Amino acid sequence: MQKQKCVFLDRDGVLNRERGDYTYTLEDFEVLPGVPEALALLKANGYLLIVVTNQAGVAKGRYERADVLACHSKLQEVCGALIDAMYYAPSHPDFSESLSRKPDSLMLERAMAKYTIDPAQSWLVGDSQRDLQAAARVGVRAVLVGGQHPPQTHIWQAPGLWEAAQLILNNRA
């Protein structure tokens, strides 16, 4: 069976605006400019698109799984249903341990097994060190996005997803 290439995507701060607090209402869930276009570009170049997101607010009782799913539905709607799968880790170490929660890599491992993903051709786009750590655990390259990181924080860095998509396409294995 042929292995597929994939771009794993963190959610908050990569696909939607990071508010500094939990984003779980549809009113607060704002897809960032350029995200639909970046996803379309990656999809046109043969990448699976899989969201992997920590959602600790569920374990903390701040919001429900239904709120996460509603935000994911809105994301798909705004982005033309381009995302192939969405995984989320509802745990938090203060409430429930989980190997799914980044920086652990179980969300990525599950997707890699289900979709026969080739780590050598795949990437993760994230906005935190824990995203980069999860990518490293499964052997995929990672792009760090967001203006909060000083230049040269990470080998692959971009202001946002559109620029990250360009970087990925220019550095294919």
44-54 pLDDT per residue, tens: 999 999 999 99
Q: What is the pLDDT of residue 149?
A: 85
Pick the CATH number of 6-170 from 1.10.10.10, 3.40.50.1000, 3.40.50.720, 3.40.30.10: 3.40.50.1000
Measured in whole angstroms, the distance separating CA 47 from the mean position of its chain's CA atoms is 14
Chain mean pLDDT for the chain: 93
Whether 7 shows a pLDDT value over 90: the answer reads yes
C-alpha 78/C-alpha 72 separation (Å) is: 10
Q: What is the pLDDT of residue 76?
A: 97
Residue range 65-103, pLDDT digits in tens: 999 999 999 999 999 999 999 999 887 666 666 777 899
Task: Please count the residues of the chain.
Answer: 173
- Set 10, 67, 104, 131: catalytic member: 10
Residue range 30-74, pLDDT digits in tens: 999 999 999 999 999 999 999 999 998 888 888 889 999 999 999
| Active site (annotated) includes residue 84 | no
Domain spans, the chain:
6-170
C-alpha 86/C-alpha 83 separation (Å) is: 7
| Active site (annotated) includes residue 104 | no
